[in-house]
Amino acid sequence: MPQATYEFPHGFLWGTATAAHQVEGRNTNNTWHDWENQPGRIKDGHRSGLAGDWWGGRWQEDLDRALADGQNAHRLSVEWSRIQPSPGSWDQKAIDQYLRMVRGINQRGMTPMVTLHHFSDPLWLMEMGGWEHEDTPALFNDFSRKIVEALKDEVNLWCTINEPNVYIFGAYVDGSFPPGKQNMDTAFAVLCNLARGHAAAYHTIHEIQPHARVGIAHHYRSFKAARSWLPLDKLVADSLSKIFNSAFPNVLADGTLNFIYTKEKIPEAVNTQDFFGLNYYTRDMVKFTLSPGGFLSKRFLPKDAELSGTGFIANVPEGLSEAIKWANGYGLPIMITENGVEEPDDKLRPRYIAEHLHQVWRMLNHNYPVQGYFYWTLTDNFEWERGWTQRFGLWKLDETTQERIRRPCADLYAAICKENAISHDTIQKFAPKALAKLFPE
């Protein structure tokens, strides 16, 4: 078997990604805290509680672990409801806390990437209508200006909005996210306002920091026809991809938002990305159906793929290559801002990480401009409507005692980060099930 090494470019960013509500704990002034306290909203009645206790200072030891494992970057988000607890008021202590966090990342020799909006909204904003309200893009811009002014000396990489497509589908299509509505017209209106909010923040960031790099973190879901010979299956798979994958990035490229049967011009959004933040987890197989709901489609995970702990994710690393090729169509440098798999142990995760990173290397070898990779996530966190039932962390978290327990996958990722490469010896030692695929005889 070949003793090869897949080397990554000098300066490649290796990190993990986190989100404020999922790791900070004690977030009580936002929509997700309210959602958690409504019966039946979160699986098994779970609540975030202390989460990973980052607001209590545990971010320091977690980042120390990341640094010791060779990571040179970290993506985190800031919580709008902490920074602006009520209309017109700003909490300087919260701003200073975030300044300490990003300064701490820099002091460790790591590169911070900061996300301004990662699913959670202030309660006061939701009470006035949230992202349905015409004033929300301007309010988001005010918040963005405040935090960017505060962090500008420490941060040069910004994501304005995380997964706008997931946000609108969760909050306004299937109702699993707050405010739990199911209305396609409202979903379209919110998507328009998210685009306006992103565009305003993009221009504000560049006003404050002309050389900053700004993008979104966009979720790409691979949709494939279940029956390749049936045109209707291909039609609905392509339609889902246009709605879910392409609508938002397209408006940031050409200023036109096409969403199902509706179109709107948002000219201020044209060319408002400096890099393409790409989140990828899995693939869906798609069948045409006349059953109500689901956009004339039935979706399911590939039957021949290995599944994650709760059957939420299928291991389809080729889907990441597909996602990179697709994102490259926008002509921007690419950051893999999220990629990961959930399970309570490490039966699949080492193989998943190794095989997906091998796909990143393959695309780099074909001159696709991927500049970094952020694994989701550093320690187990509160996974939104799925609560604590899914474990994505390189480190296991006991949310009751706050104990961190190192998983074997952390050793694999550390070896890759430190070597800036995927070596035969590393895979043989830490992910032997991936050996035959990565290093075939």
Domain ranges of the chain: 12-416
Question: What H or E segment, with its residue span, contains residue 297?
Answer: strand 297-300
Q: pTM for the full model?
A: 0.98
Tens-digit pLDDT profile for residues 305-348: 999 999 999 999 999 999 999 999 999 999 999 999 999 999 99
Tens-digit pLDDT profile for residues 115-140: 999 999 999 999 999 999 999 999 99
CA atoms within 13 A on the CB side of 209: 22
**DSSP secondary structure string for all residues of 175-231:** --STT----HHHHHHHHHHHHHHHHHHHHHHHHH-TT-EEEEEEEEEEEEESSTT-H
Question: What H or E segment, with its residue span, contains residue 303?
Answer: none
Residue 293 — very low, low, confident or very high, per pLDDT cuts 50/70/90? Answer: confident
Q: What is the pLDDT of residue 2?
A: 60
- Which CATH superfamily groups domain 12-416? Glycosidases (3.20.20.80)
56 near 50, Cβ under 8 Å? yes
CA atoms within 13 A on the CB side of 262: 11
Q: What is the pLDDT of residue 280?
A: 99
- E-strand ranges in 318-431 read 334-338, 370-375, 395-398, 403-406, 421-423
Residue 291 — very low, low, confident or very high, per pLDDT cuts 50/70/90? Answer: confident
**DSSP secondary structure string for all residues of 249-283:** HHHHHHSEEEETTEEEE-GGGTT--SSEEEEEEEE
Tens-digit pLDDT profile for residues 361-373: 999 999 999 999 9
Sign of torsion, CA 122 123 128 130? Answer: positive
Average pLDDT over residues 378-400: 98
Tens-digit pLDDT profile for residues 168-177: 999 999 999 9
Average pLDDT over residues 63-74: 98
Residue 3 — very low, low, confident or very high, per pLDDT cuts 50/70/90? Answer: confident
Tens-digit pLDDT profile for residues 158-213: 999 999 999 999 999 999 999 999 999 999 999 999 999 999 999 999 999 999 99
Percent of the chain with pLDDT over 70: 100
Average pLDDT over residues 92-104: 98
Query: What distance in Å separates the CA atoms of residue 73 and residue 109, rounded to the nearest whole number?
Result: 8
Query: What distance in Å separates the CA atoms of residue 409 and residue 411, rounded to the nearest whole number?
Result: 5
For the cut 70, the answer to whether the pLDDT of residue 1 exceeds it is no
Tokens of 134: 């015409």
For the chain, give percent helix, strand, coil, nearest 5. Answer: 45, 20, 35
269 near 251, Cβ under 8 Å? yes
Tens-digit pLDDT profile for residues 216-248: 999 999 999 999 999 999 999 999 999 999 999
Query: What distance in Å separates the CA atoms of residue 302 and residue 347, rounded to the nearest whole number?
Result: 19
